[in-house]
Structure 1
Amino acid sequence: MPPLMHGTLPLTARLEPWMKNLVEDPQLCKDLLSEYGSPLNVHDYSAMGRNIAQLRDAAAGQGVDFQVYLARKANKTLGAIDKAMAEGCGVDVASFHELEQCLQRGVSPESLIVTAAVKSRALLQRAVEHHVVLSLDNTDEALQLLEMAKPGGKSVPVALRLASGSPQIPPTRFGLSTQTWLDFFAELDHPEAISVTGVHFHLNGYSGEQRAVVLQEALEFADALGQLGHPVKFVDMGGGIPMSYLDDSNQWNGFWQALAELPEGDESLTWKSDRLGATGPQPSTALYPYHQQLIRGPWLEQILAACSSDGTQSIAQMLRARGIQLRCEPGRSLLDGCGLTLTEVAFTKQRSDGVSLVGLHMNRTQCRSAGADFLVDPILVTGAGRHAQGRSPYSGFLVGAYCIEEEVILRRRFEFPQGVSKGDIIAFPNTGGYLMHIIESASHQLPLAKNVRLEGSQAVLDDIDQIGAGLG
């Protein structure tokens, strides 16, 4: 059956079986929105186990000691923490509330790492109290931590965030150079108050080649720290592990080719002929690459097989020779297949110049990450609204609840071959990683979306919405 909704140039989502079952059950979708409001974030975490296994299998195949930490910032639900624990994963936290909730949920301190870009005193204090590893970003953090450490007490475990000095790596705001860190620790009067157990780095983008370069640099840094009396146990390469929302590369490449050829002012593909940051027929770097061939396991295998700069060893051999564990902190890639967002159509109308609009009971922060758009086709739920008889084909843009001119949910134009009307339900697939929560806003005092876990035809409200929405 052809879709009831698709982009003017389709970008068809890859769906998990549970997502297909949900969108094919219009009564359940209506009942969920009736009970919990629109929009609603629906979760099923079963795919997380598969995603973790793909990474673990890749590391095991290279004989590398390996651990996965779920990036909590990617999804605030406590159900995601529970699933990560059940799979034997750790959790990467980026705020006081994220840390506190993990501890209260039963995550062991040894299975946590604090990677917040800016750390409050309360966050540092709680980490010190529970002996949780802190990824230190700068010397000011390190000095504050030394002030808090109890004389003669247990040393505070830390990982030092490394800013690569390689000319192959773009400049980064995260971390410090190897030499800056070494000079700092060489000059400390009481370095024993801090125990450097790891090296951590954060890279923008998804390049495996760049990660191989910085992994070698991190291992050499670990050698130098060992000479200062700090035996490093792990190297953590952060997140940025690729996944793919789309199966069809022709759709993905064709979209960018057509967008590049779009005349100025032509809104046949995007709102106000928005190029989404692209300057030609190649995908824009202002967006997540929603179609990728190399993901998770095979991507990690290539990194571990990459040769050192002198060509004598692979990254896997360098890790094994030092007895150092490799860690990573995926968010989006671990939550691939774990979430979907439902919303209700509020109205259809025309813009003042006649362009058709579909208003939704949601705002643009509730299906968006830091990129310029979410380039995946939503799904019009079959039979969820009025009967299709008498409805005309419709073509237009999805707009939201905020009272600003650019309040557009997705910036692409969408086609509704059998029409669309108030009361219909639209599903945004695979939103579990970052799309639901990373920039969600309650502006206008509109409530944040509720979060439920789907168990068959039953939904259970996630505890994050019962202990105080938004703190996670």
Structure 2
Amino acid sequence: MVLDDDGARTRRSDTTLMGADATAATNIGAVPMPAHRDPWERRLLDDPNLLGDIAFAIGGPFHVMYPPRVAQNIRGFRAAFERAGVAGGVYYGKKANKAASVTRACAENDAGVDISSVGELTAALAHGVRGAELMVTGPAKSDDLLWLAVRHGALIALDGVDELDRLTALASTTGPARVLLRVLPTASASRFGMTETELERAVALIDPEGPVRLAGFSFHLSGYDPLARAEQAIALIERCLAARAVGHDAGTISIGGGFGVDYLSADTWTEFTARADRTWFHSGKSFDSYYPYHFPAPGPAMLTAILRHDGLARRLRDNAIRVAIEPGRALLDRAGSTVFRVQGSKTRHAHGRPYRLLTVDGTSLSLSEQWFDSEYLPDPVLWPDRPGEPTPTCVGAASCLESDMLSWRRIPLARPAAVGDLLIYPNTAGYQMDSNESAFHELPIPPKVVLHDGPGDRLRWTLDAG
């Protein structure tokens, strides 16, 4: 199976333990799975001192953020809207990463923020995002969140009729509230969104001249099918036109997030999905599902495919309807990495062949793919870069739990890792860094380090303000 951001699963062929020991032995190290690498990452890895200096100063695991890459990703989505001639708004799905530097990058590049809690709302405001640039989502929002959202002029996606009732009471004393009504997609078993009957009731309850103003409709789909999103968007256009016919100024639809990210090359992903089996993993571990680490049309390209389907862009232009999107992982693509220090190494054997089993100075709670009972597959990079023989290596955490593994897969590191070396897991800014963070064992939560472009080709660093 593969997983999307919400845990939706698409089955792939199951893999089983190979029967022949000789065949298994040739596969004990698994295949290399190097991630796409940006220029800033090459500069970081090529600097003879920077990573070591940061590790010395922090004294434990840490995350690295490079905000200019977030700005580049925002520009990519905006360019897709412009090429299609469609009015569009980008709202960063803040749940994907709490770093203040990301929110600041959104503010500096005219992107909004999608939030679902009072904490997220106040953090967005504190780092430069204006209230009108906020999209408030999530189910059954608290009265405090609704009150703040109305006070700051945020766009509020309502998930139920009861929420509309509470908001109407608040807005009658606070001021007008702008809302989208969240639609439950056809044949969906989701707990989010309103049925057809609930939507009809909600539209009827909103007075076009009252304290709540219907700005449009929204939806979110699991999975990564651009055509399904386009079809749902077309249905929302029709809902907007029907709402306009009874006096509402419904001019916005939100198609949510779930824009794919491309971590690995097509050849690498094809080889892994075709050949992977339990012999590639410590203790014969197996997983039912993985995130699709290769995505042929990621981020802005997926948005382009959505807008091209069945004349969607033309329909939006003809009816003066704006599209909002809520990317999280896709706005963080290649914007950060996670760094651990090796503090122990053992040799183990499987099928008569040795491999290394490392312990690093943090836990898998800071590499959160375990949230999906899965494995983060892009290869970590061993630093410093020194000559040596390729070495199959698994990576365990500094805890007392057998299950606390950062990498069950026998990664073919370029050389044997030594105590004090650093392991850099690439492209972890999207959901991996802090979805599961915890001070388990009273270990410190890894801080976020923000890289800045300095004179010449130098990089400088500060701690994130969040």
TM-score interval, normalised by the smaller of the two chains: 0.7 to 0.9
Which amino acid is 2:90 matched to? Answer: V
> Given the alignment of the two structures, is residue 176 of structure 1 paired with residue 200 of structure 2, yes or no?
no
CA contact (8 A) 1:72 1:93 kept: yes
CA contact (8 A) 1:238 1:329 kept: yes
* Identity fraction in percent: 30
Shift of 1:177: 2.3
Task: Quickly say closer, same or farther: Cα 1:210–1:189, change in 2 above 3 A.
Answer: closer
- Greater displacement, 61-70 / 136-145: 136-145
Task: Quickly say closer, same or farther: Cα 1:7–1:343, change in 2 above 3 A.
Answer: farther
Task: Quickly say closer, same or farther: Cα 1:382–1:187, change in 2 above 3 A.
Answer: closer
Secondary structure of the corresponding residue to residue 454 of structure 1: strand
> Given the alignment of the two structures, is residue 132 of structure 1 paired with residue 132 of structure 2, yes or no?
no
In structure 2, C-alpha distance between the alignment counterparts of 1:20 and 1:424, rounded to whole Å: 18
Q: How many residues align structurally?
A: 429
Shift of 1:453: 1.0
Shift of 1:444: 2.3
CA contact (8 A) 2:150 2:175 kept: no
> Given the alignment of the two structures, is residue 288 of structure 1 paired with residue 291 of structure 2, yes or no?
yes
> Given the alignment of the two structures, is residue 453 of structure 1 paired with residue 464 of structure 2, yes or no?
no
CA contact (8 A) 2:116 2:137 kept: yes
Consecutive unaligned residues in structure 1, runs of 5 or more: 1-5, 278-285, 308-313, 465-472
CA contact (8 A) 1:178 1:221 kept: no
Q: Deviations over 1:17-73 (max 9, x none)?
A: 111111222421111011123211111121223322222222222211111111111
Instruction: Specify the alignment match of 1:357 in structure 2.
Output: 357
Shift of 1:287: 2.6
Secondary structure of the corresponding residue to residue 331 of structure 2: coil
In structure 1, C-alpha distance between the alignment counterparts of 2:238 and 2:208, rounded to whole Å: 24
Instruction: Specify the alignment match of 1:231 in structure 2.
Output: 249
CA contact (8 A) 2:381 2:413 kept: no
Shift of 1:350: 4.8
Task: Quickly say closer, same or farther: Cα 1:141–1:37, change in 2 above 3 A.
Answer: farther
Instruction: Specify the alignment match of 2:164 in structure 1.
Output: 142
Decide which of 268, 272, 277 is 1:255's aligned counterpart.
272
Task: Quickly say closer, same or farther: Cα 1:141–1:26, change in 2 above 3 A.
Answer: farther
Decide which of 264, 270, 274 is 2:281's aligned counterpart.
270
CA contact (8 A) 2:233 2:255 kept: yes
Q: Deviations over 1:139-158 (max 9, x none)?
A: 2222222232334x522111
Instruction: Specify the alignment match of 2:426 in structure 1.
Output: 429
Q: Deviations over 1:431-462 (max 9, x none)?
A: 11211122222222222111111123321111
- Greater displacement, 188-197 / 92-101: 188-197
Shift of 1:7: 6.3
Shift of 1:396: 3.1
TM-score by length of 2: 0.86
1:54-65 aligned at under 5 Å gives the runs: 54-65=76-87
In structure 1, C-alpha distance between the alignment counterparts of 2:119 and 2:298, rounded to whole Å: 31
Which amino acid is 2:270 matched to? Answer: N
Instruction: Specify the alignment match of 2:184 in structure 1.
Output: 163
CA contact (8 A) 1:95 1:123 kept: yes
Q: Deviations over 1:196-254 (max 9, x none)?
A: 113111111111011011101111222222234322121111111122011x2121111
CA contact (8 A) 2:91 2:327 kept: yes
CA contact (8 A) 1:182 1:225 kept: no
CA contact (8 A) 2:344 2:359 kept: yes
CA contact (8 A) 2:207 2:213 kept: no
> Given the alignment of the two structures, is residue 404 of structure 1 paired with residue 401 of structure 2, yes or no?
yes
Secondary structure of the corresponding residue to residue 238 of structure 1: coil
Q: Deviations over 1:68-91 (max 9, x none)?
A: 111111111111111111111111
In structure 2, C-alpha distance between the alignment counterparts of 1:140 and 1:39, rounded to whole Å: 44
Task: Quickly say closer, same or farther: Cα 1:11–1:117, change in 2 above 3 A.
Answer: farther
Task: Quickly say closer, same or farther: Cα 1:7–1:199, change in 2 above 3 A.
Answer: farther
CA contact (8 A) 1:225 1:231 kept: yes
> Given the alignment of the two structures, is residue 98 of structure 1 paired with residue 142 of structure 2, yes or no?
no
Which amino acid is 2:451 matched to? Answer: L
Which amino acid is 2:394 matched to? Answer: F
1:261-410 aligned at under 5 Å gives the runs: 262=277, 266-267=278-279, 269-277=280-288, 286-307=289-310, 314-350=311-347, 356-369=356-369, 370-371=371-372, 372-383=374-385, 394-410=391-407
Instruction: Specify the alignment match of 1:415 in structure 2.
Output: 412
Consecutive unaligned residues in structure 2, runs of 5 or more: 1-27, 453-457
